[in-house]
């Protein structure tokens, strides 16, 4: 015979029937967390922000909410009063789910959130849910499965239904042309980009205006060089009156959205200018407690910084099918960050490009190499190269799938203006540096650039250009008038820049982080403001302390034989004549939100 224990709560309360301890544990320890995980997934499936849920995400959510149910289960062992406490503690999983939902909705867009209040409200709802009987939870579980399935079955993919062309800007974060088979690399790292190049205008020599993410993206969006934006190494200090590409398109009827795998991009207000939403991919995908539940994050994303390219493609397609305005052209910006240090490719690509490279073959902290504390041995450099190549191949595959799905929805060269480029490249020990940020050599500044779509004839441009010209180029292709003061449009719609310019303002925050390391004399020379100038195969690199060198790129493309700085005096003089000095002196202060993003990418320590 089954035995039931009936608690009779205080007058006015409902009678709660308790089954055997095993049944109660099943209901509260298994069914409730599973229901909560599916409830969150269901809510995200209908939320006004992209969602790319996979089975592993639901499993991780279930594990987290199961841990949140442990206090309630422990209270059950404490007698009658413990059971009453458990009826309150059972609200914790629901509270966490509600807070996690708001974290994805608001933190991903870089706006303030009220997670604590949402958590408390969710706990109150969870207390009510905890009084439901097991059969009710089972019915709710089945219903949520149907809802999630129905969303996928009933949702029709977005078709190319706008009269004017849409615009897609893809930035391949930290991608060097020297490691793309598209640009002659011996390993097949970019077959999908090669296929795209066959129907695109390919620029053989595109140069980034900055050696790291924030100023490089700022120049792409604004059409201005970093110094013209008042970028001082930590942030922007000029008026945003010059506008941005997103703002241009929004004002002309395009809806502007962005999804960035790089967590540094979305917190910057200057980079969000004009976007209706610029979401951070990690906040859309990772749970609120991801920093605490590091093991679970490692299970899903293999410990990478940022978000794997396949997930960015998933988010982009969900936005396109579910959230993009129907019948209107859109501007979608996507940032893929796979090749950013540390290099942790997924197993298939790792096995192909870095066979035999173990998990500890290279250091996780890039500062160990750049400070000279850990010498970069040949085997470590080979390991870095293999892992980096694997990351590029992984990203190439993700971008290729995105293009396939766009084609399936009817987007092609007649109705989609596609721009594919990179913010900067990466050094794998070249010139004594691993990573970027600290060098102005070609390995970091030479980036890929491909254009396709209405008004673009496939071909190849050999003349040097810069990604700062993209805003004016898109405007020209869409029939918008030129904006005075911007870098000119690319050939054949504009003119070649008279001087190729790349700038790196002193990064005081990075120098501060390096104080705990024994710095080599070479690193000390990399401090300060640096500029790289180029014209007619002559390139000069110099800082604000009189250090520098000149290179003949025709005879020395790898920049291994520096000449005297005086050989580039003409270029330096011309640059100084045209330089825009923005604002007044100010302290270098890194905003808290940006610092957290820098920490997540390994630029600075925690």
The DSSP-derived string for 47-76 is: SSS-----HHHHHHHHHHHHHHTHHHHHHH
What's the longest Cα–Cα distance across the chain?
98
Q: How far apart are CA 145 and CA 329, in angstroms?
A: 34
Measured in degrees and rounded to the nearest 5, phi and psi for residue 229 equal -90, -5
Edge-first strand listing for the sheet containing 446-447: 446-447, 206-207, 465-466
Q: Are 397 and 191 in contact (CB under 8 A)?
A: no
**Percent of the chain topping pLDDT 90:** 47
Asked which of 217-221, 390-394, 506-510 is least confident by mean pLDDT, the reply is 506-510
Count the neighbouring beta carbons within 10 Å of the beta carbon of residue 573: 9
Residue 442 lies in a domain: yes
Whole-number pLDDT of residue 255: 97
Residue 188 lies in a domain: yes
Domain endpoint, select from 117, 134, 154: 154
Q: How far apart are CA 214 and CA 136, in angstroms?
A: 51
**CA distances for 589 relative to 235, 505, 508, angstroms:** 8, 14, 9
**pLDDT 10s digits, 468-498:** 999 999 999 999 999 998 999 999 999 889 9
Whole-number pLDDT of residue 323: 92
Number of structural domains in the chain: 2
Query: Judging by DSSP bridges, how do beta strands 449-452 and 416-421 pair with one another?
Result: antiparallel
Residues 139 and 20 grouped into a single domain = yes
Query: Judging by DSSP bridges, how do beta strands 206-207 and 446-447 pair with one another?
Result: antiparallel
Q: How far apart are CA 422 and CA 171, in angstroms?
A: 5
Q: Which residues pair with 417 in a beta bridge?
A: 167
pLDDT at 315 over 90: yes
Better-scored residue on pLDDT, 511 or 409: 409
Q: What is the DSSP letter of 604?
A: S
**CA distances for 428 relative to 111, 179, 395, 559, angstroms:** 36, 11, 18, 15
Q: How far apart are CA 467 and CA 423, in angstroms?
A: 8
184: left (phi over 0), alpha (psi -120 to 50) or beta: left
Better-scored residue on pLDDT, 146 or 576: 576
Whole-number pLDDT of residue 290: 56
Residues 506 and 369 grouped into a single domain = yes
C-alpha Rg value of the chain to the nearest Å: 27
Question: Which CATH number do you get for residue 454?
Answer: 3.40.720.10
Q: Residue 267 is encoded by which pair of tokens?
A: 């917190």
Most confident of 60-74, 432-446, 520-534: 432-446
Whole-number pLDDT of residue 259: 96
Domain endpoint, select from 124, 154, 184: 154
Residues 148 and 240 grouped into a single domain = no
Residues 212 and 110 grouped into a single domain = no
Most confident of 291-300, 389-398, 536-545: 389-398
Specify the residue for token string 């097949």.
188
Better-scored residue on pLDDT, 70 or 210: 210
Q: Please state the rounded mean pLDDT for residues 59-88.
A: 76
CB under 8 Å, gap of 24 or more: what pairs does 136-145 form?
137/27, 137/31, 137/32, 137/35, 138/31, 140/35, 140/39, 141/31, 141/34, 141/35, 141/38, 144/35, 144/38, 144/39, 144/41, 144/42, 145/38
pLDDT at 532 over 90: yes
Whole-number pLDDT of residue 593: 47
Residues 180 and 148 grouped into a single domain = no
Domain endpoint, select from 89, 121, 154: 154
Residue 174 lies in a domain: yes
410: left (phi over 0), alpha (psi -120 to 50) or beta: left
Whole-number pLDDT of residue 260: 95
**Percent of the chain topping pLDDT 70:** 78
Residues 125 and 189 grouped into a single domain = no
Using DSSP, state whether 393 is helix, strand or coil: helix
Better-scored residue on pLDDT, 231 or 449: 449
Residue 191 lies in a domain: yes
52 cis-preceded (ω within 30 degrees of 0): no
Whole-number pLDDT of residue 294: 45
Asked which of 76-85, 205-214, 218-227 is least confident by mean pLDDT, the reply is 76-85
Residues 180 and 138 grouped into a single domain = no
Q: Please state the rounded mean pLDDT for residues 167-192.
A: 97
Whole-number pLDDT of residue 13: 43
Asked which of 221-230, 255-264, 558-567, 582-591 is least confident by mean pLDDT, the reply is 582-591
Q: Please state the rounded mean pLDDT for residues 336-355.
A: 93
Q: Please state the rounded mean pLDDT for residues 289-300.
A: 45
When the pLDDT of each residue in the chain is averaged and rounded to a whole number, the result is 82
pLDDT at 601 over 60: no
**pLDDT 10s digits, 93-138:** 888 888 888 877 776 666 666 777 788 777 887 777 666 655 566 5
Whole-number pLDDT of residue 55: 73
Better-scored residue on pLDDT, 565 or 139: 565
Residues 120 and 199 grouped into a single domain = no
Residue 505 CB partners (closer than 8 Å, separation 6+): 215, 226, 227, 231, 232, 233, 529
Count the neighbouring beta carbons within 10 Å of the beta carbon of residue 191: 14
Q: Residue 418 is encoded by which pair of tokens?
A: 């596609």
Better-scored residue on pLDDT, 531 or 35: 531
Residue 583 lies in a domain: yes
Residues 86 and 137 grouped into a single domain = yes
Q: Are 571 and 533 in contact (CB under 8 A)?
A: yes
Q: Are 14 and 28 in contact (CB under 8 A)?
A: no
**pLDDT 10s digits, 31-69:** 778 777 877 887 788 888 898 877 777 777 777 888 888
Residues 232 and 143 grouped into a single domain = no
Residue 315 lies in a domain: yes
Q: Please state the rounded mean pLDDT for residues 235-260.
A: 87
Q: Are 98 and 121 in contact (CB under 8 A)?
A: yes
**pLDDT 10s digits, 533-581:** 999 999 999 988 888 899 999 999 999 999 999 999 999 999 988 874 4
Whole-number pLDDT of residue 178: 95
Edge-first strand listing for the sheet containing 548-552: 500-504, 530-535, 538-543, 548-552
Residues 176 and 212 grouped into a single domain = yes
Q: How far apart are CA 51 and CA 152, in angstroms?
A: 12
Residue 6 lies in a domain: no
Whole-number pLDDT of residue 59: 76
Domain that holds residue 445: 166-600
Q: Residue 173 is encoded by which pair of tokens?
A: 């974060």
Count the neighbouring beta carbons within 10 Å of the beta carbon of residue 25: 15
Q: How far apart are CA 462 and CA 150, in angstroms?
A: 51
Of 285, 297, 308, residue with least CA distance to 40: 285
Residue 5 lies in a domain: no
Residues 311 and 439 grouped into a single domain = yes
């Amino acid at each position: 015979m089954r035995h039931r224990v009936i608690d009779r709560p205080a007058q006015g309360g409902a009678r709660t029937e308790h089954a055997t301890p095993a049944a109660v544990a099943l209901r509260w320890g298994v069914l409730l967390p599973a229901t909560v995980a599916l409830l969150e997934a269901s809510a995200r499936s209908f939320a006004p922000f992209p969602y790319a849920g996979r089975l592993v995400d639901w499993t991780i959510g279930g594990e987290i909410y199961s841990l949140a149910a442990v206090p309630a289960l422990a209270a059950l062992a404490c007698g009658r009063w413990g059971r009453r406490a458990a009826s309150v503690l059972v609200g914790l999983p629901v509270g966490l789910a509600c807070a996690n939902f708001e974290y994805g909705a608001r933190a991903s867009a870089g706006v303030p959130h009220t997670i604590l209040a949402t958590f408390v409200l969710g706990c109150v709802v969870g207390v009510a849910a905890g009084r439901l009987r097991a059969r009710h939870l089972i019915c709710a579980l089945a219903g949520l499965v149907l809802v999630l399935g129905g969303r996928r079955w009933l949702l029709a993919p977005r078709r190319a239904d706008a009269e004017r062309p849409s615009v897609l800007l893809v930035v391949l974060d930290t991608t060097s042309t020297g490691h793309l088979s598209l640009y002659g690399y011996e390993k097949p790292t970019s077959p999908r980009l090669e296929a795209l190049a066959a129907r695109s205008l390919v620029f053989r020599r595109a140069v980034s205006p900055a050696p790291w993410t924030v100023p490089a993206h700022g120049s792409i969006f604004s059409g201005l060089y970093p110094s013209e934006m008042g970028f001082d190494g930590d942030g922007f200090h000029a008026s945003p009156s010059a506008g941005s590409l997103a703002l241009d398109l929004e004002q002309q009827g395009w809806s502007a959205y962005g999804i960035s795998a790089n967590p540094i991009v979305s917190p910057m207000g200057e980079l969000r200018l004009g976007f209706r939403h610029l979401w951070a991919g990690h906040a859309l995908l990772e749970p609120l407690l991801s920093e605490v539940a590091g093991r679970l994050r490692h299970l899903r994303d293999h410990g990478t910084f940022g978000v794997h390219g396949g997930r960015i493609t998933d988010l982009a397609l969900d936005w396109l099918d579910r959230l993009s305005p129907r019948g209107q052209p859109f501007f979608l910006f996507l940032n893929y960050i796979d090749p950013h240090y540390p290099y942790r490719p997924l197993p298939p690509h790792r096995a192909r490009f870095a066979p035999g490279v173990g998990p500890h073959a290279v250091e996780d902290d890039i500062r160990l190499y750049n400070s000279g504390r850990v010498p970069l041995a040949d085997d470590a450099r080979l390991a870095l190269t293999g892992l980096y190549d694997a990351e590029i191949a992984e990203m190439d595959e993700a971008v290729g799938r995105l293009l396939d799905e766009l084609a399936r929805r009817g987007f092609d060269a007649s109705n989609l203006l596609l721009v594919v480029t990179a913010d900067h490249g990466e050094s794998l020990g070249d010139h004594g540096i691993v990573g970027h940020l600290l060098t102005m050599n070609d390995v970091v500044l030479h980036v890929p650039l491909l254009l396709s779509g209405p008004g673009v004839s496939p071909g190849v441009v050999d003349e040097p250009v810069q990604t700062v010209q993209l805003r004016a180029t898109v405007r020209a292709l869409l029939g918008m008038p030129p904006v005075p003061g911007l870098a000119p449009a690319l050939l054949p719609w504009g003119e070649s820049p008279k001087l190729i310019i790349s700038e790196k303002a002193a990064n005081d925050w990075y120098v501060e982080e390096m104080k705990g390391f024994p710095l080599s004399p070479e690193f000390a020379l990399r401090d300060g403001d640096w500029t790289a100038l180029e014209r007619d195969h002559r390139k000069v690199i110099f800082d604000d302390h009189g250090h520098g060198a000149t290179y003949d790129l025709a005879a020395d493309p790898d920049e291994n034989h520096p000449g005297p700085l005086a050989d580039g005096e003409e270029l330096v003089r011309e640059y100084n004549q045209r330089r825009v000095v923005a604002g007044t002196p100010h302290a270098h202060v890194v905003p808290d939100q940006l610092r957290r993003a820098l920490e997540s990418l390994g630029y600075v320590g925690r």
